[in-house]
Structure 1
Amino acid sequence: MKEKKLKIAIQKSGRLFEDSIRILKDCGISIDNGKDQLKASARNFPLEVMYLRNGDIPQYLTDGVADIGIIGENLIVEKGEDLEVMQKLGFSKCRVSLAVPKKEAFDGLESLRGKKIATSYPNTVRQFLDQNKIEADLHIISGSVEIAPSIGLADAIVDIVSSGSTLFKNNLKEVATIIKSEAVLAASPKMDDDVRKIASKLQFRLQSVLRARESKYVLLNAPNEKVDEIIKVLPGMRSPTVLPLAQEGWSSLHTVIEQEKFWEIIDELKAIGAEGILVCPIEKMVL
């Protein structure tokens, strides 16, 4: 009986491609792909990779041609509302935002009434306008949306924004965020049970990698009389490890700290009396 493989669709080029390949590699998956291949197999995991245009991935998932895919949340809103989000992946964060010319006054969403809006995301914009009971005309553009106001095609635009530099260069200002987005692992509604078991194994590896990326391993020394106070500050997975040092009256404490809380906690530890604080990256964190 032929071994079943999990078919994953990823962007063949662009901002999602490199991060998608990197996270699969961090999951211990080795992919045999040559230059310009559109399909490749993993050597050490039942996985087949399909390299597709980003905008085509939702349809491949909906049709069951691909079992899972790495795409932006914004594309699920735009093209794949029937797709299941298995896992948020924490990279390629951006937002779909409304922007208008810098010189134009913007007095809230009501000022969009009757105006022309250029976008590559018509379904997302229509939902946003309907939710806010605003009637406006949409001008659908497949690329270079930012130029639309300057050539008279539109009064405003809705597009993906990361740093905002492209808007700035085109004399536009961001006035409202419609949705926030990041890369996600999305699943086809047609995936069968056997393939879903493989997808669950991949998701388990992804979760271990993501937890590690979001955490730091911290080792510190402290006088024994400060240990209890320090333990109250440290947020270990269960509780910090405490080991006696060769120097009498001192202990070494080991724990894991979330990246977003790291500096706040380090400042507290120093104030209490922690010394010799070492910070190490974590490759994987399996719970």
Structure 2
Amino acid sequence: MNTLKIAIQKSGRLNEDSLKILKDCGISVDNGNDQLKASATNFPLEVLFLRNSDIPQYLLDGVVDIAIVGDNILVEKGGNIKIIEKLGFSKCRVSVAVPKAFEFKSLDDLKKLRIATSYPNTTLNYFKQNNVKVDLHQISGSVEIAPNIGLADAIVDIVSSGSTLFKNNLKEVAVIMKSEAVLAVSPFITPEKQVVLDKLRFRIQAVLRARISKYILMNVPNEKIIAVSQILPVLKSPTVVPLNEVGWSSVQSVIDEDQFWDVIDKLKEAGAEGILVCPIEKMVF
């Protein structure tokens, strides 16, 4: 079977989350001694550990077949690289930030001012679309320090919690784009490797569905099963199992995590008792 080559970030949070989703897919990767290349022991997969900013070019050149990368990097450098799956982790945003003392009312306040960023294409496109001309300063590394040392009047950078901005006396004033980790594919992937990718994607989808779902079991009076069933946003229909206690049944189903508390409140009002909530490891369709 053809070995699929995947690029992931060589260090940092995205690296850890990428290896975790592969592990959750049942794929074992031994990256001992911080190797830059490692092979899975139980799946036809070879992992290349690269700098995040270099990954789009590796995809465009066909050096790797797929990659787990932030979609903000693809927007900045990736051209028309195809995204086949949003992975739901390493969420952040690319934002405009200014010193806290800056009286910001609109983007027009930044006209002709110096903007420091490591995302020049994203930044220029954003200000061009808003008809605001700025003086761009492309830098790498700690962009947040630029206003404090007099290099720039404002910055464009990735923001997660906002704590780094706060520590550098900056405030977020505009969000250019929201980003998360995605599975991207090279335009040169072969049909043989596409077969392997389909198998990997099937596993990833099973893991992602499980991450956003909960399995619930509850005791319900038989006369209230229909009412409870109508509340449950189930895949097909809930499982109903009679209990030893006459007139009662166990009702079992799957609910989305983002609907969890709203559904639980309605189930209790409808007569459900002893509600047990369990995590789901995989959901395979």
TM range (shorter): over 0.9
How many residue pairs end up in the alignment? 285
For 1:246, the equivalent position in structure 2 comes to 244
CA distance in 1, matches of 2:108, 2:227: 54
CA distance in 2, matches of 1:283, 1:54: 29
Deviation of 1:39 after TM superposition, in Å, equals 0.8
CA distance in 2, matches of 1:196, 1:132: 40
> Does 1:147 find its partner at 2:119?
no
For 1:116, the equivalent position in structure 2 comes to 114
Residue 227 of structure 2: SS of its match in structure 1? Answer: helix
Letter in 2 for 1:142: S
Deviation of 1:200 after TM superposition, in Å, equals 1.2
CA distance in 2, matches of 1:32, 1:24: 12
Deviation of 1:72 after TM superposition, in Å, equals 0.3
> Does 1:184 find its partner at 2:169?
no
For 1:284, the equivalent position in structure 2 comes to 282
For 1:266, the equivalent position in structure 2 comes to 264
Gaps of 5+ in 1: none
Residue 32 of structure 2: SS of its match in structure 1? Answer: coil
Letter in 2 for 1:79: K
* Aligned pairs (5 A) from 1:157-236: 157-236=155-234
> Does 1:31 find its partner at 2:29?
yes
CA distance in 2, matches of 1:268, 1:108: 43
CA distance in 2, matches of 1:81, 1:63: 12
CA distance in 1, matches of 2:80, 2:195: 20
1:165-212 residue CA offsets vs partner (Å, 9 max, x unmatched): 000011100001000000001111111111111111101100000000
Letter in 2 for 1:152: G
CA distance in 1, matches of 2:74, 2:49: 18
* Aligned pairs (5 A) from 1:14-163: 14-163=12-161
CA distance in 1, matches of 2:113, 2:191: 48
Letter in 2 for 1:42: A
CA distance in 2, matches of 1:180, 1:155: 23
Gaps of 5+ in 2: none
Residue 31 of structure 1: SS of its match in structure 2? Answer: coil
CA distance in 2, matches of 1:133, 1:193: 44
Deviation of 1:160 after TM superposition, in Å, equals 0.5
CA distance in 2, matches of 1:103, 1:276: 54
CA distance in 1, matches of 2:40, 2:129: 44
Which TM-score applies when normalising by structure 2? 0.98
CA distance in 2, matches of 1:127, 1:166: 25
CA distance in 2, matches of 1:155, 1:131: 20
1:239-267 residue CA offsets vs partner (Å, 9 max, x unmatched): 11111111111111000000100011001
CA distance in 1, matches of 2:202, 2:27: 13
Q: Post-superposition, which runs of at least 4 consecutive aligned residues in structure 1 deviate over 6 A? A: none
CA distance in 2, matches of 1:208, 1:217: 15
CA distance in 1, matches of 2:38, 2:149: 43
CA distance in 1, matches of 2:185, 2:28: 21
Letter in 1 for 2:107: L
CA distance in 1, matches of 2:233, 2:239: 11
The alignment's C-alpha RMSD in Å is 0.8
Deviation of 1:36 after TM superposition, in Å, equals 2.0
Letter in 1 for 2:22: L
CA distance in 2, matches of 1:256, 1:226: 18
Deviation of 1:32 after TM superposition, in Å, equals 2.9
